[in-house]
Amino acid sequence: MARRALVGALAGAALGAVAARAAYAAFRRRPPIGDAETWNRTNHRGEPITLLEGPAFVAGAAAAATVVPGLPARVRAAALLAAAGAGGLGAYDDLYGVTSSKGFRGHLGALAKGEVTSGAMKIIGIGVTGLAAAALTSRCPADIAVNGALVAGSANLANLFDLRPGRAIKVGLICGAPLLAASVLGDAPAAAAVAALPAGAAAALLPEDLGERAMLGDAGANALGALLGLAAALTLGRPGRLAVLGTVVALTAASEKISFTRVIAGNRVLNRIDMLGRRPVEQAPVH
């Protein structure tokens, strides 16, 4: 009955939220690598900001996936692999990546010249972990290929939106809502829990992101996208998954030519959503 799926969704969201907030508080006291300065960066305003929100999201979502009730073992393992794989590779790029090459074209172009960038390592690594997560939840080779591409592609796409406060999380919540609703209405408890995990963790960290105190970075954004891709793989039929994958590929390709920030700023509705909860551009920082 749909009630089981609803309970799974509520449990996943609650556990994800509690675990992410606990992880963020713990990492603020003691970062997972190095010290606080290791994770400090400068945001789009030129102000200091921490990337510790990303590891907190990964740790929170992974912890929730470990303990949320009702998940089959293979789905639980796939969720952990998607979150930890994409998040870990994203964290490596956050800490040690260089910006001389950007985007798929830049990183793959550098790879073709024999230069292995951190971004190329991330693209390949997330592709491998995406396929591995898909193999845990699919049997048909065609489905493994589609679902693996969906997990990896969604991980990359989510990261492309992490350029302004709260944007990647808002996109994740907006995209995750129909998946969550479909899994609950379709009486799919495992899919509902997987869709709810990143939603709960992301929503719990949204105030830090909107307040411009922290950002997801590659670690958090890649993990958020990967889990949403896995949720889509568990929720949708093959036509739906192919449609979502086509959208992911199209948007990723478009990002090589156009600026999402410019498109959003030029659309009244999108800009209003993007600015919701954010500090106005002209407002002085509050410390």
Say yes or no to pLDDT of 114 above 70.
no
Asked whether 61 and 198 are in contact (CB, 8 A), the reply is yes
What is the residue type of 277? G
pLDDT tens digits, residue range 195-242?
999 999 999 999 999 999 999 999 999 999 999 999 999 999 999 999
10 Å Cβ neighbour count for 95? Answer: 16
How far apart CA 117 and CA 185 sit, in angstroms, is 43
Q: State the Cα–Cα distance between residues 198 and 205, nearest whole angstrom.
A: 11
Instruction: Compare 78 and 101 and report the one with higher pLDDT.
Output: 78
HSE-up (13 A, CA, CB side) for residue 142: 5
Task: Give counts: helices (H), strands (E), the chain.
Answer: 12, 2
* Residues pairing with 35 in the sheet: none
Q: What per-residue confidence (pLDDT) applies to 256?
A: 87
Burial of 212 (0-12, 13-18, 19+ CB in 10 A): buried
> How far is 13 from 230, CA to CA, in rounded Å?
16
**Closest by CA position to 193, among listed 231, 226, 229:** 231
- CA-CA distances (angstroms) from residue 206 to 60, 66, 161, 262? 14, 23, 14, 22
Lowest mean pLDDT among 19-28, 237-246, 254-263: 254-263
Q: Give me the pLDDT at residue 100, please.
A: 53
Which residue type does 74 have?
R
Question: 118 with 217: CB under 8 angstroms?
Answer: no
For the chain, give the percent of residues with pLDDT over 70. Answer: 90
243's tokens:
């449609």
281 pLDDT more than 90? no
pLDDT of residue 115: 60
Phi, psi of 44 (to 5 degrees): -65, -20
